[in-house]
């Protein structure tokens, strides 16, 4: 991820990549050379003392996010922290408290919230398309591991930092999915999570890693949410459904499409034809939108990250609220902790 962040920072107007840092100094130097940074370091303290950066992007393993984030905030830098934000809720809360005390800003790298289609959906909701508060959210988040060679390599490499997280692979990937729910659900909610090891993983000899997850939630306003994470579902979708009292929205992050679901029901046989025709027009519109962006060279795979970084920088320049609220970051951490506690009961005990 450091490479992607460096590329975006170098491309953004009014921003400059002034330094890189890695525990392996060769990696830091190579990244600096590729993206025009004048300095590189293998020590965070020296980076902060010498370069005095306005913003530090933390793309290290999540076990180090809290400590590095704390160092940066206390030295006067704002921080952009890749997901998972921290290892647990307590660390997340402490980082946010430090940021507030120091008058600094921070955000989390859940960039799918700022993709073209996610931004469009947010605008539709603000304009009243749902007809009120969301009634139900449905998130499908798939991580395709059908390549057996890659999967076997991952399962054998127990030294990778993912294995050392309390929630292992689940904790590393689901913040994107959880944040979609955190944006809309109330602070007070109940949650039930079921996690299990897929038959595919069992056949490869892995018995402990949870790679399938199903979550049900309900908040005090009776809004419900379902989350399904899978390495086995096909199609391997990343899809978000938001259903309101009048209409709904389907956001597809893989295909970068957005479909407005109409709540109106037509009489008799018209219900078999009119909605299909209207949906076909929407899919056609999505096709031409994507094609146009591709032709104009604006259809970037990490457009959401570009938008998020740009919005975060503007919030710093204009002293505005960060693009992702601290309340949502804490809700995301709280939900993730609750999920891990339920699906890894025996391991944690």
Distances in Å between the alpha carbon of 43 and those of 22, 47, 48, 71?
7, 6, 9, 12
pLDDT of 67 > 80? The answer is: yes
CA atoms of 252 and 242, how far apart (whole Å) = 12
pLDDT band, very low/low/confident/very high, at 348 (cuts 50, 70, 90): very low
pLDDT value, residue 298: 84
Instruction: Report all structural domains of the chain as residue ranges with CATH numbers, in order of start.
Output: 2-109 (3.40.50.720), 113-301+327-348 (3.30.360.10)
pLDDT band, very low/low/confident/very high, at 1 (cuts 50, 70, 90): confident
- The answer to whether residues 211 and 245 touch, using CB atoms and an 8 Å cutoff, is no
> Six-digit token pair at 132?
């009120």
CA atoms of 20 and 43, how far apart (whole Å) = 10
Distances in Å between the alpha carbon of 99 and those of 91, 94, 95?
12, 9, 6
Task: Give pLDDT tens digits for 146-182.
Answer: 888 899 999 999 999 999 999 999 999 999 999 999 9
CA atoms of 32 and 7, how far apart (whole Å) = 11
Residue 141 belongs to what H/E stretch?
strand 136-142
Q: What is the pTM of this model?
A: 0.92
Q: Mean pLDDT for the chain?
A: 95
CA atoms of 345 and 349, how far apart (whole Å) = 6
End-to-end CA distance of the chain: 33
> Six-digit token pair at 77?
């830098």
Task: Give pLDDT tens digits for 223-239.
Answer: 999 999 999 999 999 99
pLDDT of 219 > 80? The answer is: yes
């Amino acid at each position: 991820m450091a490479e992607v962040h460096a590329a975006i920072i170098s491309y953004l107007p009014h921003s400059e990549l002034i330094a890189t840092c890695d525990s392996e100094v060769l990696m830091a130097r190579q990244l600096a050379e590729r993206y025009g940074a004048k300095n590189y370091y293998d020590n965070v303290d020296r980076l902060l003392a010498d370069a005095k950066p306005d913003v530090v992007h933390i793309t290290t393993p999540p076990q180090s996010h809290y400590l590095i984030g704390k160092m940066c905030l206390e030295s006067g830098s704002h921080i952009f922290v890749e997901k998972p934000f921290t290892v647990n809720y307590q660390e997340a809360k402490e980082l946010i408290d430090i940021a507030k005390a120091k008058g600094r800003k921070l955000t989390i790298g859940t960039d799918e919230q700022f993709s073209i289609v996610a931004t469009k959906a947010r605008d539709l909701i603000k304009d009243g398309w749902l007809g009120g508060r969301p009634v139900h959210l449905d998130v499908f988040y798939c991580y395709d591991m059908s390549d057996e060679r890659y999967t076997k390599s991952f399962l054998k490499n127990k030294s990778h930092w993912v294995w050392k997280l309390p929630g292992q692979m689940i904790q590393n990937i689901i913040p994107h999915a959880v944040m979609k729910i955190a944006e809309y659900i109330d602070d007070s909610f109940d949650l039930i999570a079921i996690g299990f090891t897929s038959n595919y993983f069992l056949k490869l000899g892995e018995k402990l890693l949870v790679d399938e997850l199903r979550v049900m939630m309900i908040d005090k306003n009776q809004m419900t949410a379902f989350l399904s994470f899978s390495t086995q579902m096909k199609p391997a979708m990343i899809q978000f459904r938001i259903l309101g009292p009048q209409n709904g929205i389907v956001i597809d992050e893989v295909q970068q499409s957005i479909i407005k679901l109409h709540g109106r029901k037509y009489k008799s046989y018209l219900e078999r034809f009119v909605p299909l025709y209207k949906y076909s027009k929407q899919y056609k519109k999505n096709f031409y939108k994507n094609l146009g962006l591709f032709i104009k060279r604006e259809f970037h795979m990490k457009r959401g990250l570009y938008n998020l970084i740009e919005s975060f920088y503007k919030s710093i320049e204009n002293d505005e609220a960060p693009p992702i609220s601290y309340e949502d970051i804490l809700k995301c951490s709280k939900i993730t902790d609750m999920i891990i506690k339920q699906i890894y009961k025996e391991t944690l005990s």
